[in-house]
Structure 1
């Protein structure tokens, strides 16, 4: 029997699903993070997970984005052979219309992050289209669609290799995961694809991330094939690396490892790994001709109630009176609460500033003794000062760091994840500091922002230079003025503790 599915129903279902996942984490993810939070022994990593859980509940209550990076939309579409779609648009155009409506929804505006002409003008499309869409034609009379919104920071850490048939998948994964750093915002999941061809392995890895977190159930029943054996082995061995939440060192780096495989050529062993970050966002729906397939809101009882307390080791910092002498006292791992005026700027703003400095032009903003926050905020709605405004990956600014510190008088930076050797050297040489805000806690961070205005480069949109006024914004000292990085010392310390057997990661 042929099922007729209306164009408007498909568009409405895509729109609803994308709005839904922008503010609701999957329950399995919340349960897994809470379990990891309860057993975590590293106070810094435990606090990072507390912020993720608090942020998640706030987003569920306020219907605002979990992360300021609301992702690139990926859709996996299974079209039944006994389906007829009633409408005048292509299926691809219908899905993209759903994306467009979801991201332009006035009640919960989502950040448009998609740039056309990626190696040229890199012009924002303005509505987060087009999506990346994968199709299958399958038996049946329904259309089943999985949608995900994948953050750029985690996608940037994807890895691929064509191994020799005799090479070890486990050894390769354990080698590349530390190279991924913390820019993918652990704790999260690893999707691993093995076999097929190069593009098939990558697709398998992405598809694997749609599966629920169930590693503990697998351990209880035992593996039934090689893919499941790999899941268990890699889950234990990756967590034993001691990388921990946000790369600060700790017991939980991955909440689950997913493995999908596919037959391959005798000469090849394709392997891909794609991480999912702390802003895990995906859901699915089935259209059967009866109307739009809308998501069912979860119960707020699914979220644990977590509170953070400002302990005795917390420093309160007045950004409006900060001096170079004061920041010399800060140590890696120190928790700070920032108040005062804070500048913002990320990739495009840094590129423009460095180009201006090279031409001998004066910058439109005075950075002397100021801090800059690497952020591209979501547009505000209703009475918000700013929308969700979590940090972006700091390593992308590494190539600009020395010039900016030398030429502008800047003394501090705030972002997420580690800094590379060149940036650390520049920070040490100029006795500056780098502070880390928690990736995946964007709505929570935004509540510390009590004022916002654009100072320069307004044409860059969310990449413009803003001035935020903040009150008690939580950050961690990640690189101190002597060049010591907590992202280097933390995982090393916790890996040693795990290896000596005093702490278990299971």
Structure 2
């Protein structure tokens, strides 16, 4: 009897559905691990951040809207059984790119297109998030195993690779590396390691490792059985002892699990690749055998912990009535609820503003005494004012900060992760402040935005400058007007050992 063939449509339909599914559903093991971290956390700032991530996760699951505004690059691992009854008429790249276009343009839940072509030149957005990043292997068997993930840029940008001496300590290198990553990878999350092989093999293993289930609690109960197990346990304890905490605010948990894959390597080499996964961990696995496209069951809402009232509490701040005394009263770690008018602006908008200033041109908007939010939102649907609108990594704006503060009178910047020495010096000099919204809580943040309209650089798409009005937008003071940073003091306070 002839076996049913795995068709083009089986792969396209399955990948497209998986990409939509992971845009709004966290994996159940991630929810459980975050809930456990929330219960154990002793740092008030970190606990508040984890709470917002869990609240956002449940809201995204109910509303079927993206967990994070950065809906990621598409990463697919294809393990093709050598005896699989393939009926494909096009390449896997063509098929998965078609699935990506379909998923990212779905009208009821459009996803943000972030992929640019001509990376060394014009860097034009492809507008459909293609091409996907695909790793293909041929394996024993009669089916096709598919792992689909959507990898955010903030955590991807923190990937590291080293070729160690065979006698070097992998654990020491990893601890030293993670200690220097900053918070741009949006912890709590996963650390994926690839050890051995060649440099390209190590990187592929590190990426694949991030799709493995979170099972560190089980490993801790049963104990290590392999060298990989021993490395995982050592790193789980040592990395969390760094005191990084959620969002880098200082606390007990930044790493939910450490996953390790290894491969034989040259006797003179020890390649080690490290890739973190953020609080918007998104992946799904399925198998195609020719019978039908894959189907996916939504997680039960009982998986999420009962957090009571979804309101975030904090000091209310009127963005339309900022003054020096108010700004000076903020301290690192304070939770604020912002209301009033502010502007959005990311890398491209900042570059355009600074280039214009150099030519003697006025800024396209009046930032004097105002706030700017580093965000590139998802397109709205239905009656939404704006789509999920979480913060982007602020360090990318550091080189623009001093000239913009000097020229504009800007007083508040909002993003995620730490600021570098140059930006902190400029903040202190100009009496400004830097606030962070929780990375991985984009849908929650969007609910605080009551009005939005593009006002400048409209051709930049999601990187255009918007004027938005917010009501009780939750943020944390990260750098105060004296240049004191929670990303310095928080981890220092919670570091152990």
State the alpha-carbon separation in 1 of the partners of residues 474 and 311 from structure 2: 11
How many angstroms does 1:324 deviate by? Answer: 2.7
Q: Quick one: structure 1 residues 8 and 308, their matched pair in 2 at CA, closer, same or farther if it must change by over 3 Å?
A: closer
Answer yes or no: is the 8 Å Cα contact 1:335–1:476 preserved in 2.
Answer: yes
Structure 2 equivalent of residue 456 of structure 1: 456
The TM-score with structure 2 as length reference comes to 0.98
Answer yes or no: is the 8 Å Cα contact 1:3–1:82 preserved in 2.
Answer: no
How many angstroms does 1:423 deviate by? Answer: 0.5
State the alpha-carbon separation in 1 of the partners of residues 236 and 296 from structure 2: 31
Answer yes or no: is the 8 Å Cα contact 1:346–1:375 preserved in 2.
Answer: yes
Structure 2 equivalent of residue 85 of structure 1: 86
User: What pairs up with 1:191-206 in 2 under 5 angstroms?
Assistant: 191-206=192-207
State the alpha-carbon separation in 1 of the partners of residues 379 and 312 from structure 2: 29
Moved more, 42-51 or 315-324: 315-324
Matched, 1:158 2:159: yes
User: What pairs up with 1:223-242 in 2 under 5 angstroms?
Assistant: 223-242=224-243
Answer yes or no: is the 8 Å Cα contact 1:3–1:141 preserved in 2.
Answer: no
5+ residue gaps, structure 2: none
State the alpha-carbon separation in 2 of the partners of residues 310 and 473 from structure 1: 9
State the alpha-carbon separation in 2 of the partners of residues 52 and 309 from structure 1: 13
- Report the count of equivalent residues: 495
Q: Quick one: structure 1 residues 310 and 285, their matched pair in 2 at CA, closer, same or farther if it must change by over 3 Å?
A: closer
State the alpha-carbon separation in 2 of the partners of residues 183 and 344 from structure 1: 19
SS in 1 for 2:221: helix
Answer yes or no: is the 8 Å Cα contact 2:3–2:290 preserved in 1.
Answer: no
SS in 1 for 2:5: strand
State the alpha-carbon separation in 1 of the partners of residues 260 and 312 from structure 2: 40
User: What pairs up with 1:255-404 in 2 under 5 angstroms?
Assistant: 255-306=256-307, 307-308=309-310, 311=313, 314-404=314-404
Note the aligned Cα RMSD (angstroms).
1.1
How many angstroms does 1:85 deviate by? Answer: 3.3
Structure 1 equivalent of residue 190 of structure 2: 189
Structure 1 equivalent of residue 20 of structure 2: 19
Structure 2 equivalent of residue 430 of structure 1: 430
State the alpha-carbon separation in 1 of the partners of residues 14 and 296 from structure 2: 8
How many angstroms does 1:308 deviate by? Answer: 4.9
Moved more, 266-275 or 371-380: 266-275
Answer yes or no: is the 8 Å Cα contact 2:191–2:259 preserved in 1.
Answer: yes
User: What pairs up with 1:85-124 in 2 under 5 angstroms?
Assistant: 85-124=86-125
State the alpha-carbon separation in 2 of the partners of residues 305 and 396 from structure 1: 36
Structure 2 equivalent of residue 7 of structure 1: 8
Answer yes or no: is the 8 Å Cα contact 2:85–2:143 preserved in 1.
Answer: no
Answer yes or no: is the 8 Å Cα contact 1:47–1:308 preserved in 2.
Answer: no
State the alpha-carbon separation in 2 of the partners of residues 252 and 275 from structure 1: 14
How many angstroms does 1:309 deviate by? Answer: 5.2
Answer yes or no: is the 8 Å Cα contact 1:54–1:305 preserved in 2.
Answer: no
How many angstroms does 1:10 deviate by? Answer: 1.3
Q: Quick one: structure 1 residues 377 and 44, their matched pair in 2 at CA, closer, same or farther if it must change by over 3 Å?
A: same
Matched, 1:62 2:63: yes
Which whole-Å deviations, capped at 9, do the CAs of 1:9-44 have from their partners, x for residues lacking one?
211101000000000000000000000101110110
Answer yes or no: is the 8 Å Cα contact 1:479–1:485 preserved in 2.
Answer: yes
Answer yes or no: is the 8 Å Cα contact 1:50–1:308 preserved in 2.
Answer: no
How many angstroms does 1:86 deviate by? Answer: 2.9
SS in 2 for 1:83: coil
SS in 1 for 2:80: strand
The TM-score with structure 1 as length reference comes to 0.96
How many angstroms does 1:288 deviate by? Answer: 1.1
SS in 1 for 2:298: coil
Structure 2 equivalent of residue 421 of structure 1: 421
How many angstroms does 1:138 deviate by? Answer: 1.7
